[in-house]
A = this chain, B = another copy of it.
Amino acid sequence: MKPSGLSVTLALSALVVSVQAESLLEKVRAQRVAHEQEVIAEYQEFLRLPNVGSDREAARRNAEFIVAMMKRRGIAGELLEGKTAATNPAVFGEIKTPGATRTVVFYAHYDGQPVNPRQWAAGLDPWQPVFLTAPAERGGKIIEAWKPGDAINPDWRISGRSAADDKAGVFCILNAYDALVKSGARSTVNVKFFFEGEEEMGSTHLGELLELHREKVKSDLWIICDGPRHVSGRKVVDFGVRGDVNMDLTVYAAKRPLHSGNYGNWAPNPALRLVTLLASMKDDHGRVLIPGFYDDYVQFSETEKLAIKEASFTDAQLMEELGLKEPEVPGRSLLEGFELPTLNINGIASANVGRVAANVIPTSARATLDLRLVLGTDWRRQVGRVTAHIRAQGWQVIDHEPTDAERAQFAKLIKIETGAGYNAQRTPMNLPIAQAVVAAVQSTSTEPVIKLPTAGGSLPLIVIEETLGAKVVTVPAVNYDNNQHAENENVQVRFLWEGIETFAALMTMP
């Protein structure tokens, strides 16, 4: 690791904090050990609440559960409502610290990604958390014999939707505060809690909520607990996030499914047309071919490049673990790719495959795309480029099921549905408050903290920066192999324990 001016400064301040905080860290750990049965029982109850944000009643039950969690910890939690009932409430709470000069909002989100329960491994239910010996994909077994009161092995995983993303954030923040209080310690900053309920839906109402409750959420810094720690297991501070927008494409052919023999060589096949379109978007070497796609992005600074380089030492291990011979772009590291916008096929579907496939020409074919934005790229402009590219391939773009008149007029009809997007955000790595965060996290770990100019994932942090003028950094808590957004999501227990320590340190940062 080649030291830069910045990293020397951080290393020195980390050392100082480390000595000062040692006994607090031990006290927090002792509190956690004393209460781990209770907090795990409460967490399992939390995970049993379905939390797909589009189910507004379910979402509200999660918000109310968090208010109850806060009450048990002596925090007066409240729901921040949006302008209309079509907004899942955020959960807010505040602890004022006499003499504090900084106000820090601790953020996590309680909603989760949609689930397809049939894709989960045998015995796993997204809404029935269980302990596993290892991830399901690596042969993890359910600990059938465990019952409340039995020892909890920190190597075990807890399964369930949002076990990692991002109920774990709520867990770490609230239990960190609780452990601090029970240790007889107190926070050094004014602590605010903000738990969002629409993050996985694109945080469409976050800006509105911040505007409506501007005075309450006023602060110097937001610390986001979301996303995974580094592949190496080291702790991480992310100084930015990518933006995100989804596009859903549906192409149409005959109104009814057709026998592939009786109509083959005559009726257009929508799956063929869709694959041809998608194949035109990106080449075999991972380069997006859509005109203008890479025009706007801001390259990493030298400091950012150095930080990326220091953190890029686990690609080979990761490839082996994932069963990959080489990355999409051989020679480019995982983290180097974070500099660029992405175009990803999240899923594709037309009729059926395999054992349930029939010899038909399908009626339609559908793909969902995920576009990640980086500093400089604007989501509306990027969507416009994809749409222009589709039009340039001869497609008539519509935003609804085609009418008979449209079917008669256009041979190639595509419905494009675009979600609400948001842009990327990056906080400069050399701000004093950012360095204080790194030092606090470092005080809880014997291994060097990894500093990333941007995470690969997305959070609507740009909204916070633009609406409130507050700085934003992200401190992830969970294991990297958590299957977030997918089937068999899990969190390793030790990462929950370490997350409590991390956030207790952040609440007591100098």
A: residues with CB less than 8 A from B are 54, 113-116, 119, 135, 137, 227-228, 242, 244, 246, 248, 252-269, 271-276, 278-280, 282, 284, 286, 315, 320-329, 332-334, 337-338, 340, 342, 344-362, 365-368, 370, 372, 402, 404, 407-411, 455-458, 480-481, 483-488
Residues of B within 8 A of A269 (CB): 328, 344-345
29 A-B Cβ contacts within 8 A? A248-B357, A252-B323, A253-B324, A259-B484, A261-B370, A264-B344, A264-B370, A266-B328, A266-B333, A266-B337, A267-B322, A267-B327, A267-B328, A268-B286, A271-B278, A271-B345, A271-B348, A275-B276, A275-B278, A346-B358, A347-B362, A348-B350, A348-B351, A348-B365, A349-B352, A349-B353, A358-B485, A358-B486, A360-B486
Report B-chain residues with C-beta under 8 Å of the C-beta of A349: 348-350, 352-353
Of B115, B368, B402, the contact of A323 (CB 8 Å cutoff): B402
Q: Which chain B positions have C-beta within 8 A of A327? A: 266-268
**Contact, CB under 8 Å: B366 / A486:** no
Q: Which of B345, B346, B357, B488 contacts A347 (CB 8 A)?
A: B357
Q: Min CB distance, A408 to chain B, in Å?
A: 6
A438 to chain B, nearest CB (A): 21
Q: Give chain B residues whose Cβ lies under 8 Å from the Cβ of A266.
A: 315, 327-329, 332-334, 337
Chain B residue at minimal CB-CB distance from A411 = B325
Residues on B with beta carbons closer than 8 Å to the beta carbon of A407: 323-325
B457 with A265: CB separation less than 8 A: no
Contact indicator A352/B347 (Cβ below 8 Å)? yes
**Complex alpha-carbon distance, A487 and B255, angstroms:** 13
A436 vs B116: C-alpha distance when bound (angstroms): 57
Task: Say yes or no: A259-B457 contact (C-beta < 8 A), given A340-B265, A349-B349, A366-B353.
Answer: yes
Are A368 and B344 in touch, CB under 8 angstroms? no
Chain B residues whose CB sits within 8 angstroms of the CB of A275 once the complex forms: 274-276, 278-279, 345, 348
From residue A161, how far is it (CB to closest CB) to chain B in Å? Answer: 10
CB distance B370 to A359 under 8 Å?
yes
Report the separation of the CA atoms of residues A481 and B246 in the bound assembly, to the nearest whole angstrom: 37
Rounded to whole angstroms, the CA-CA distance of A337 and B332 in the bound complex is 47
Task: Please determine whether A346 and B351 come into contact, CB atoms closer than 8 angstroms.
Answer: yes
Chain B: minimal CB distance from A404 (Å): 6
- On whether the beta carbons of A246 and B114 are closer than 8 Å, the reply is no
A214 vs B352: C-alpha distance when bound (angstroms): 38
Decide: A353 and B324 in contact? CB cutoff 8 A: no
A368 engages B354 (CB within 8 Å) = yes
A12 to chain B, nearest CB (A): 31
Interfacial chain B residues near A113, Cβ < 8 Å: 358-359
For the complex, give the distance between the alpha carbons of A321 and B407 in Å.
Answer: 10
Which residue on B lies nearest to A252, using beta carbons?
A: B323
User: Closest 7 CB pairs between A and B?
Assistant: A265-B337, A261-B457, A257-B486, A347-B351, A279-B279, A357-B368, A264-B342
A112-B312 Cα distance, complex, nearest whole Å: 55
Complex Cα gap A322–B255 (Å): 5
Q: Which of B246, B259, B352 contacts A359 (CB 8 A)?
A: B246
Decide: A265 and B347 in contact? CB cutoff 8 A.
no
The contact of A261 among B244, B280, B322, B332, by CB within 8 Å, is: B244
Nearest to A454 among chain B residues (CB) is B261
Contact B344 A260 (CB under 8 A): yes
Roughly how many angstroms separate A370 CA and B329 CA in the complex, as a whole number? 33
**A362 cross-chain contacts in B, Cβ below 8 A:** 345-347
